[in-house]
Chain A
């Protein structure tokens, strides 16, 4: 086990609703990254948070947003849910250092189903 926890485990929403997913990073880590993994595919980078600010973003629309808190935990918010948002959402924690981050360790994920 990595020490990265995510909640909830599973979630069912309907199209147009909003959702908030939560992540607690591994002890000693200060950076949280979020990934979306569609069925049968590799994870796709959404964004990363460091020092409570977005540190980088992948090719996802603005309705995907996030927060990082002083204890390094993080939230992923998705507004106006679409059917294609159904996926496993993964949080990964790591230790930031100049020039890039260290190895990212993943949590178990939140399975989101949009009906």
Chain B
């Protein structure tokens, strides 16, 4: 199964299911968008990015979708694993800085 919805601060997912994390952004002029994963006590870890002229990009077990019409970004994680438990942030990049969203805490149930 999948968990889809508007931006939620928390997401609980059954191990092996697919996860979808949503993010709304505000700046139409952003150059590109990045998803970071942050585990407890660690710095944000780069997952995947997407340029503003693209609408989809795939990585290993992850897919990012960009909908510029509604200013919406999503991260899909296939076959969620216990190691995917973390806080996930979307960030929009413009010029020299990153602006981060509120973050979604993903908990994977065994």
Contact = CB atoms under 8 A, between A and B. Distances in A.
A104 B94 contact: no
Interface stretch (B59-67, B73-81, B97-105): B97-105
A4 B44 CA distance: 12
Q: DSSP majority for the A interface?
A: strand
Nearest to A40: B103
A33 B34 CA distance: 16
B96 A103 contact: no
Interface residues on A, range: 20 to 34
Q: Which 6 A-B pairs have the closest CB atoms?
A: A42-B100, A106-B43, A56-B96, A45-B97, A106-B44, A48-B96
Interface of B: 31, 34, 36, 42-46, 49, 89, 91, 93-103
Interface of A: 2, 4, 31, 33, 35, 41-45, 48, 50, 55-56, 58, 90, 92, 99-101, 103-109
27 contacts: A2-B45, A35-B98, A41-B102, A41-B103, A42-B89, A42-B101, A43-B44, A43-B89, A43-B98, A44-B100, A45-B99, A48-B96, A48-B97, A58-B97, A90-B43, A90-B44, A100-B94, A100-B96, A101-B93, A101-B96, A103-B34, A103-B49, A106-B44, A106-B45, A107-B43, A108-B42, A108-B43
